[in-house]
A and B are shown apart, each in its own frame.
Chain A
Amino acid sequence: GAVVSQHPSWVICKSGTSVKIECRSLDFQATTMFWYRQFPKQSLMLMATSNEGSKATYEQGVEKDKFLINHASLTLSTLTVTSAHPEDSSFYICSARDPGLAPVNEQFFGPGTRLTVL
């Protein structure tokens, strides 16, 4: 099956620093990648949708200047949390989609990255 990896799996950083999270599709080309955030005991919330080679589309309430998304290749998307603060501590999950895979529009989820900002 299609595999999506994330790196790092967990990260602890100081307040004010920037953190980059990578999402890779390992055995398929992901024309679209999605970034989600999950706070403890809450459901996943979509942050943004990125299509390869174009700017990401952010959901309402998500600051695009704070959460920088780059989808420069068909197998890699990055999420950079800039000037991280403790309230950004969360579990960040990416998913990837390849319209060429059957069934169409299936999404494959990465294992997630746990960010803790001190």
Chain B
Amino acid sequence: KNEVEQSPQNLTAQEGEFITINCSYSVGISALHWLQQHPGGGIVSLFMLSSGKKKHGRLIATINIQEKHSSLHITASHPRDSAVYICAARRNQFYFGTGTSLTVIP
């Protein structure tokens, strides 16, 4: 069993839709990261959070420490949001989820 589980694995949305990606983890963590991996492979760190909620533009990340669950929301989705979104739980090392492949259709 993976320490970090993401759902869904694949997601197709129409432009403008509200998107939610979920992440559950089983290890005790010091922080949880949301990463965005573009088709070429490059990775961008979107959020690092240890409690509550963070917002950056159209992206919102929340975490519930008690339930060991985090969500990434994208409001007013756009085709340029198409990417793989990876949840990573950090303890002494990173535990990566398998990623959610998002495709936003115009």
Contact = CB atoms under 8 A, between A and B. Distances in A.
Interface of A: 34, 38, 42-46, 49, 91, 93, 95, 103, 105-112, 114
B41 A112 contact: yes
Interface residues of B, number: 20
Interface stretch (B11-19, B61-69, B93-101): B93-101
- A-B pairs, 4 with minimum CB distance: A111-B42, A109-B43, A112-B41, A43-B96
| Main SS class of interface, A | strand
B40 interface: yes
A117 B73 CA distance: 38
Given A93-B41, A95-B43, 10 more contacts: A38-B41, A44-B86, A103-B48, A105-B30, A105-B31, A108-B45, A109-B42, A110-B43, A111-B40, A112-B42
Contact of A43 (B31, B40, B97): B97
Contacts, number: 46
B37 to A, nearest CB: 9
Nearest to B101: A41
A94 to B, nearest CB: 10
Contacts of A105: 30-31, 90
